[in-house]
Amino acid sequence: MSRIGKKPVTVPSNVTATVSGQTVKVKGPKGELSFTAPEELKVEKTTEGIAVTPIADTKRSRAMWGMSRTRVQNLVKGVTDGYSHTLEIHGVGFRAALKGKDQLQMQVGYSHEVLHKIPTGVEVKVAGAKQEIVVVSGIDKQLVGQVAAEIRAYRKPEPYQGKGVRYQGEFIFRKEGKKK
Protein backbone atom coordinates (compact mmCIF):
# COMPACT_ATOMS: atom_id res chain seq x y z
CA MET A 1 0.00 0.00 0.00
CA SER A 2 1.25 3.43 -0.90
CA ARG A 3 1.24 5.81 2.04
CA ILE A 4 1.45 8.80 -0.27
CA GLY A 5 -1.14 7.47 -2.71
CA LYS A 6 -3.80 6.93 -0.01
CA LYS A 7 -4.06 10.65 0.78
CA PRO A 8 -6.27 12.74 -1.51
CA VAL A 9 -4.82 15.92 -3.01
CA THR A 10 -6.53 18.92 -1.43
CA VAL A 11 -7.57 21.63 -3.86
CA PRO A 12 -7.42 25.22 -2.53
CA SER A 13 -10.36 27.57 -2.99
CA ASN A 14 -8.62 29.69 -5.65
CA VAL A 15 -7.90 26.61 -7.83
CA THR A 16 -10.35 24.81 -10.10
CA ALA A 17 -9.65 21.16 -10.89
CA THR A 18 -11.51 19.03 -13.41
CA VAL A 19 -11.17 15.29 -13.92
CA SER A 20 -12.26 13.75 -17.21
CA GLY A 21 -11.32 10.09 -17.55
CA GLN A 22 -7.59 9.80 -16.88
CA THR A 23 -6.83 13.51 -17.44
CA VAL A 24 -6.62 16.02 -14.59
CA LYS A 25 -6.72 19.72 -15.51
CA VAL A 26 -5.84 22.29 -12.86
CA LYS A 27 -6.34 26.03 -13.32
CA GLY A 28 -5.11 28.59 -10.80
CA PRO A 29 -3.89 32.16 -10.47
CA LYS A 30 -0.53 31.44 -12.16
CA GLY A 31 -1.79 29.37 -15.10
CA GLU A 32 -3.18 26.04 -16.23
CA LEU A 33 -1.58 22.57 -16.21
CA SER A 34 -2.77 19.05 -17.02
CA PHE A 35 -1.65 15.48 -16.34
CA THR A 36 -2.79 12.18 -17.83
CA ALA A 37 -2.65 9.30 -15.36
CA PRO A 38 -1.69 5.76 -16.46
CA GLU A 39 -4.59 3.44 -17.35
CA GLU A 40 -3.87 1.23 -14.32
CA LEU A 41 -5.19 3.97 -12.02
CA LYS A 42 -8.57 5.54 -11.39
CA VAL A 43 -8.67 9.31 -10.82
CA GLU A 44 -11.77 10.90 -9.33
CA LYS A 45 -12.78 14.16 -7.72
CA THR A 46 -14.20 13.78 -4.22
CA THR A 47 -15.28 16.16 -1.47
CA GLU A 48 -11.78 15.99 0.11
CA GLY A 49 -9.99 16.67 -3.19
CA ILE A 50 -8.61 14.54 -6.02
CA ALA A 51 -8.20 10.85 -5.16
CA VAL A 52 -5.98 8.43 -7.06
CA THR A 53 -6.60 4.69 -6.57
CA PRO A 54 -5.27 1.59 -8.35
CA ILE A 55 -7.77 -0.47 -10.36
CA ALA A 56 -6.04 -3.83 -9.82
CA ASP A 57 -3.42 -4.98 -7.35
CA THR A 58 -0.52 -5.36 -9.80
CA LYS A 59 3.11 -4.38 -9.38
CA ARG A 60 2.89 -1.66 -12.06
CA SER A 61 -0.27 -0.10 -10.61
CA ARG A 62 1.31 0.03 -7.15
CA ALA A 63 4.43 1.62 -8.65
CA MET A 64 2.40 4.28 -10.49
CA TRP A 65 0.02 5.04 -7.61
CA GLY A 66 2.18 7.27 -5.40
CA MET A 67 3.94 8.85 -8.38
CA SER A 68 0.66 9.88 -10.00
CA ARG A 69 -0.69 11.35 -6.77
CA THR A 70 2.53 13.37 -6.39
CA ARG A 71 2.29 14.60 -9.99
CA VAL A 72 -1.25 15.88 -9.30
CA GLN A 73 0.00 17.54 -6.09
CA ASN A 74 2.78 19.22 -8.10
CA LEU A 75 0.18 20.61 -10.54
CA VAL A 76 -1.79 22.18 -7.70
CA LYS A 77 1.32 23.67 -6.08
CA GLY A 78 2.58 24.92 -9.45
CA VAL A 79 -0.54 26.91 -10.34
CA THR A 80 -0.76 28.43 -6.84
CA ASP A 81 2.87 29.12 -5.80
CA GLY A 82 5.10 28.12 -8.73
CA TYR A 83 8.58 26.60 -8.60
CA SER A 84 12.04 28.14 -8.81
CA HIS A 85 15.69 27.10 -8.74
CA THR A 86 18.51 29.50 -7.94
CA LEU A 87 21.89 28.88 -9.55
CA GLU A 88 25.18 30.51 -8.53
CA ILE A 89 28.08 31.03 -10.93
CA HIS A 90 31.53 30.90 -9.29
CA GLY A 91 34.78 31.75 -11.05
CA VAL A 92 36.86 34.70 -12.22
CA GLY A 93 35.14 36.27 -15.22
CA PHE A 94 32.20 33.85 -15.06
CA ARG A 95 28.87 35.64 -15.59
CA ALA A 96 25.48 35.38 -17.22
CA ALA A 97 23.21 37.80 -19.06
CA LEU A 98 19.88 37.65 -20.82
CA LYS A 99 20.03 38.10 -24.59
CA GLY A 100 16.54 39.09 -25.58
CA LYS A 101 13.72 37.26 -23.82
CA ASP A 102 14.44 33.74 -25.00
CA GLN A 103 18.22 33.26 -24.62
CA LEU A 104 20.62 33.09 -21.69
CA GLN A 105 24.18 34.07 -22.54
CA MET A 106 26.88 32.73 -20.22
CA GLN A 107 30.63 33.13 -20.00
CA VAL A 108 31.86 30.15 -18.01
CA GLY A 109 35.52 29.73 -18.93
CA TYR A 110 35.29 28.60 -22.54
CA SER A 111 36.76 30.44 -25.52
CA HIS A 112 33.22 31.17 -26.67
CA GLU A 113 30.00 32.33 -25.03
CA VAL A 114 27.43 29.67 -24.21
CA LEU A 115 23.89 30.42 -25.42
CA HIS A 116 20.97 28.55 -23.87
CA LYS A 117 17.50 28.83 -25.40
CA ILE A 118 14.83 29.35 -22.77
CA PRO A 119 11.65 27.31 -23.46
CA THR A 120 8.17 28.80 -23.15
CA GLY A 121 6.67 28.47 -19.69
CA VAL A 122 9.97 29.16 -17.93
CA GLU A 123 11.21 32.57 -16.79
CA VAL A 124 14.91 33.24 -16.22
CA LYS A 125 16.29 36.25 -14.33
CA VAL A 126 19.91 37.26 -13.82
CA ALA A 127 20.75 39.02 -10.53
CA GLY A 128 23.72 39.94 -8.41
CA ALA A 129 26.27 42.70 -8.62
CA LYS A 130 28.51 40.66 -10.93
CA GLN A 131 25.65 38.86 -12.72
CA GLU A 132 26.48 35.62 -10.92
CA ILE A 133 22.99 34.55 -9.81
CA VAL A 134 20.50 32.96 -12.21
CA VAL A 135 16.91 32.36 -11.06
CA VAL A 136 14.85 29.86 -13.09
CA SER A 137 11.12 29.91 -12.29
CA GLY A 138 7.82 28.67 -13.70
CA ILE A 139 4.72 26.64 -12.91
CA ASP A 140 5.81 23.25 -14.28
CA LYS A 141 8.12 21.53 -11.76
CA GLN A 142 9.63 19.13 -14.28
CA LEU A 143 10.39 21.84 -16.86
CA VAL A 144 11.93 24.23 -14.30
CA GLY A 145 14.17 21.47 -12.93
CA GLN A 146 15.18 20.37 -16.43
CA VAL A 147 16.19 23.89 -17.51
CA ALA A 148 18.15 24.44 -14.28
CA ALA A 149 19.96 21.10 -14.76
CA GLU A 150 20.82 21.97 -18.38
CA ILE A 151 22.26 25.35 -17.34
CA ARG A 152 24.30 23.68 -14.58
CA ALA A 153 25.59 21.04 -17.03
CA TYR A 154 27.46 23.64 -19.12
CA ARG A 155 30.09 23.92 -16.38
CA LYS A 156 29.61 21.68 -13.36
CA PRO A 157 31.50 22.74 -10.23
CA GLU A 158 34.95 21.22 -10.09
CA PRO A 159 36.34 19.88 -6.79
CA TYR A 160 39.69 21.73 -6.64
CA GLN A 161 38.75 25.42 -6.82
CA GLY A 162 34.94 25.16 -6.83
CA LYS A 163 34.54 26.99 -10.14
CA GLY A 164 31.38 26.39 -12.13
CA VAL A 165 27.61 26.62 -11.94
CA ARG A 166 25.98 25.22 -8.79
CA TYR A 167 22.60 25.22 -7.12
CA GLN A 168 22.24 27.67 -4.25
CA GLY A 169 23.15 25.90 -1.04
CA GLU A 170 24.78 22.94 -2.84
CA PHE A 171 27.82 21.53 -1.03
CA ILE A 172 30.85 20.93 -3.23
CA PHE A 173 33.29 18.37 -1.83
CA ARG A 174 36.68 20.04 -2.14
CA LYS A 175 39.91 18.14 -2.79
CA GLU A 176 43.28 19.25 -1.46
CA GLY A 177 45.25 19.18 -4.70
CA LYS A 178 48.85 18.34 -5.48
CA LYS A 179 51.56 18.81 -2.87
CA LYS A 180 55.18 19.57 -3.61
Confidence of residue 112 (pLDDT cuts 50, 70, 90): very high
- pLDDT tens-digit readout, 52-97: 999 998 999 988 999 999 999 999 999 999 999 999 999 999 999 9
Q: Are 17 and 25 in contact (CB under 8 A)?
A: yes
β-strands 114-117, 31-36: how paired?
Answer: unpaired
What's the CA gap between 131 and 105, in Å, rounded? 11
pLDDT of residue 3: 83
Q: What is the pLDDT of residues 149-160, one digit of tens each?
A: 999 999 999 999
Sketch out the chain's domains with CATH numbers. Answer: 3-80 (3.90.930.12), 83-167 (3.90.930.12)
Residue 119 exposure: Cα atoms within 13 Å on the Cβ side: 14
Give the separation between CA 50 and CA 19, rounded to whole angstroms: 8
Q: Write down the pLDDT at residue 129.
A: 86
